[in-house]
Structure 1
C-alpha cells in the first residue's frame, strides 16, 4: 500500500513571494531649546509680600477688687410665716383587748340537749322462703302434643367391588406411532470467513505540517530599565506659617471667683416623727386558738363481733333439682326398605364408550392418503355409497 494520500496527490506547490516590509524612518532630534514659557508665567507680575498681622481682640483682665459677700434678693425679701401645727380632731380609742381567755358558751350550746340514740326498727321483709304445698306440674305443651312416630329402616347400599380389566394397557402414543427417526442435515453457519489484512509496507509518519513548517528565529523581548532615583540637593525648610507668625505671651492662670456659701449650721436634733407614726401606733396582737368541740357520742368499748346481718338472718334450704323437659334420645327403626330412587337415576341414559381410532395401526373406516415431511400420516374417512332410487 502506498503512503500517498489524496491531499498529497492533489496538492500543487506554489512559489511564495515574500511581502515587502515597511521600514520606519530614523528619528532625528530637532536642534535648539524648547520654549517652556507659559501664559501664566508671561502675564504674572510678582509683588513683594509681607506677613499679615493677626487681627485679634485684646483680652480683658478682670481685676479682683475684694471678697463678694452679698445676700440675694430672694433671701432678703422672703419672710417666714408663723404657722402653728393643726391638731387632729380624732376621738381617743378607748378599746382595750381583754387579757382573760374567752370562755362564754354559745346559744347553740345553751339550747342543745343531748338525747339518747335508739336503734330504728327495720322494715325489711324477712328472707324466709315459703314452701308451697301443691306439687309441681311438669306437663308442657310439647309433652302433651308430641306424637312419637316409628322411623323406617334405612336401606344400606352395598359397596361395589373393584374389578381390574383383563386387557393389557396399551401405552402407544401418537408421537411414538408417528415418529420415524429421520436423520436431518446439520445447519450451516452463515457467518462470513475471517480474512486478516496484513501490510508489509513501512508506515510513513511524515505529515504536511512537518514538511511545510519552517522555523523562524524569534528575538527575545527587551526589558525596560527604570530610572534611578536622585534625591534633591539641599535641606528641607520645615518652618510653617504658624511657627513664623506666632508671638508667645506670658500669662497667669485665672483663679475661680466663687461666692461665699450661705449654709447655716443647726445644732438641734432632727425630729423624725411623722403624723402617721403618731396617729397609728403599733398594737400588740396574739393569734386566736382553735375552738374544738367536745365529742358527745362515746366510742364503743367492747370487742367487735365479726357476725354480719346476712349471716345471722340467713336460713339454709335444701335444693331440689329441676326435672329436664327434653325428650328421651331413642332411635326409632323401621323394617321397610329405603327408597333410593332419584331424578338423576331415572333420567340417566347410559351410552356406549367407543375406542379412539388413533390407537389402531390402521383405523377401521379410514383410508391412508399421504405422509408429510414431519412424519405425520393423514387418513380419509370412508363414506358409504348411497344407491339412487
Structure 2
C-alpha cells in the first residue's frame, strides 16, 4: 500500500510537516504532496556547471609619469608652402563660318554586331558523391527548357493620315455622342386631398366603446402549512463525497532518452561534411577582351533627320489681341477727377449727435432720512409655536412575564460528535511510522485490520 505523508493524513488543515531546504542534486523518487516541482521538472544526472571562457583581466596600468609627446608631434616634419602659379585663360575668339550640327558621336560611331560574352565561370567539375550530400538541385534535375516561339501581334496596323485643314479631325466625343432631348420626370407625389375635420374630437376609441368590464371572483385564502422540524439529524455529506471513490494509478514514466555525458578530454575532429564535399579548386584568371581597331566609314554622312524630311511648315497669321487699345499716350486734356460714385453719392452734411439721457422715473426725496427701512415699517411679528416631537421616549421596556429563551436553533439543532484530527496525535491511529525524507516530510503506512475467521 502507498505510504501517506502527515500533510495528507490531516483533516483539519492545521498540521504540516516542517519544510526544510530543497536539495537540487538529490536523486530520489519520493512523491511530495505539497509541491508540484518534482512532477513538472524531473531531475537530471550529476551535471557540473559550465566553465567560463572569459579571459582573465591581465592589463596593468603604467606607473610612470606621462610625457607630453605624441606620435604626430614626433613624426611630423613641417614643409615650406609654395604658392601655385595661376593659369591665365586665353582670350576667346569666335570661329569664322557657319556651325556644323554634326557631333562627334554621329561622325565616329560605327554600329557593329554584338556577340555574347563568354562566361568567366570555371567548368563544372564532376560531382563525387560519398553518400552524405547531394549537390545537384531539383531545378537542374527536373527542369527542361522549351523551344518557345515568339507570338505575332494581333493588333491591326494603323496608318496615320495628317489632316489637310487646320483642326479638321473630329474628336471621339463628337463622333460617338448623340444629343437627346431631356423631358421632365413625372411627379409620383400623391395629391394632398385629405381635408381636416371640422367637428371637435370626443376622445372615443374602439377600446372604450367595445370594452365590457367583468367583475373578478374573490380567490379563496390558502391556509399556511405549519412548520414541522425533521426527525433525522442533518448529515453534511454531498453527492460527490458519497459517489466518488478514488482510484489508485501508476505514476507516469519519462519518455526522455538517457542523458549521455560528453567527455571534455576527447580531441575535436576538424573534418566536417562541408569540407569533405566541397574542396577548393584553382580558378584561371579572366581572359582579356581584344578591342578591334576603329575604321572610319567611307563616304560623306547625311545630316538629314526624319523630322526635317517629313515636316511641312505652315504660315500662320499673328493673333490679334482682343483687349482695347491703350489711351495712355493721350495726355492733352487735364484730369477732371470726376467719377460715377462721386456724382451719384454726394457727401451729406454731418453733425455730431448729442448724449441721450434717460429721464428719472423715481422722484428724489426732499425731506430728511428717518433711518426706517421698508422691512421695518411693513414687518408684522408673529408668535412662534414649537413643533411637537414624535420621537418615542428612551425608556427601557419592562414586561412582568418571564423571558422565553426558546429559539428555532435550539429546537432544530442536532448536536454531532466532534471528530479529532488523527494528525494531532504523536503517532496517528491506524498508521505506522515508515521514514522521513530530506525535505522533512514524515511518511506513515496504513495498518490494515485483521479479520478473524468464524
In our comparison, the structure showing a higher alpha carbon Rg is 1
TM-score normalised by length of structure 1: 0.20
- The two structures have a TM-score, normalised by structure 2, of 0.18
- Which has the higher relative contact order, 1 or 2, with Cα contacts under 8 A spaced 6 or more apart? 2
